[in-house]
Amino acid sequence: MYNTGVPARGDHDARRRDVSEAVWRVLATRGFGGLTLRAVAAELGASTGLLTHYFPNKKALVTYALDVADERTASRRVREVQVEGLAALRSALMDVLPLTPDSAAMNRIWVSSWDGALADPELVVREKNRYQDWRERLRSHVAAAVERGELPASSDVDGVVATVAAFTHGLVVQALFDPERFPAVRQTEILDAFLMSLSGC
């Protein structure tokens, strides 16, 4: 009885889900700095040799991990909000802030990805594009808020978009390092005061 090494399609998909889950657990506990074939193999209860088949080198593993993180991030954005303008902007920023343990885990993984990303020209482009996609999504809310008179008509829309993205990620990092000082209710207060100041009230 020989194993041909070519699993049936169903096995392949199931195995991929297992690998994704193992990669995610490694990222959630150790970050990208702790992402190694050995760590993923241990999570998976598999041999490092098997994983070498999937990931011939570290870069392949990191790229795969970023794909997993992208998928999980996108799947968090499915809920449609029934609000527009400034309220929609607030909702979009609340979605990013680490207000729950799940969101804190997600953020911790993204923040930890920046080290390796800054060291690799291809990953710099990938992260630059992710930022640009995020700003595009925020831009529609900012533009609508200006149109609705919720933000000053004189606003430099791209500047406001960069400002709200900056504020949000910067608060993410502070909250990750100091969750006692920045529990969900405090993050929300700070966000609301920030949006109020943008609106000129």
Q: Which is nearer to its own copies, 21 or 189 (CB)?
A: 189
Asked if residue 189 binds its own copies (CB under 8 A), the reply is yes
Task: Please give the residues from 87 up to 116 whose contact with its own copies meets the rule CB under 8 A.
Answer: 108, 111-116
Please provide the DSSP assignment of 141-181 as one string.
HHHHHHHTTSS-TT--HHHHHHHHHHHHHHHHHHHHH-TTT
For residue 24, give the DSSP letter. H
- 150 binds its own copies per the rule CB under 8 A: no
- Residues 19-58: x/- map of binding to its own copies (CB under 8 A)? ----------xxxxxx------------------------
As measured in angstroms, the least distance from the Cβ of 9 to its own copies is 36
Cβ closer to its own copies: 3 or 132? 132
Residue 52 — φ and ψ, nearest 5°? -60, -30
C-alpha–C-alpha distance, residues 156 and 136, integer Å: 14
Q: Is 167 exposed, middle or buried (0-12, 13-18, 19+ CB in 10 A)?
A: middle
Q: Is residue 178 at the binding interface for its own copies, with CB under 8 A as the rule?
A: yes
Collapsing DSSP to helix, strand or coil, 83 comes out as coil
Binding residues for its own copies (CB under 8 A) = 29-34, 108, 111-119, 124, 127-128, 131-132, 156, 159-160, 162-163, 165-171, 173-174, 176-178, 182, 189-190, 193-194, 197-198, 200
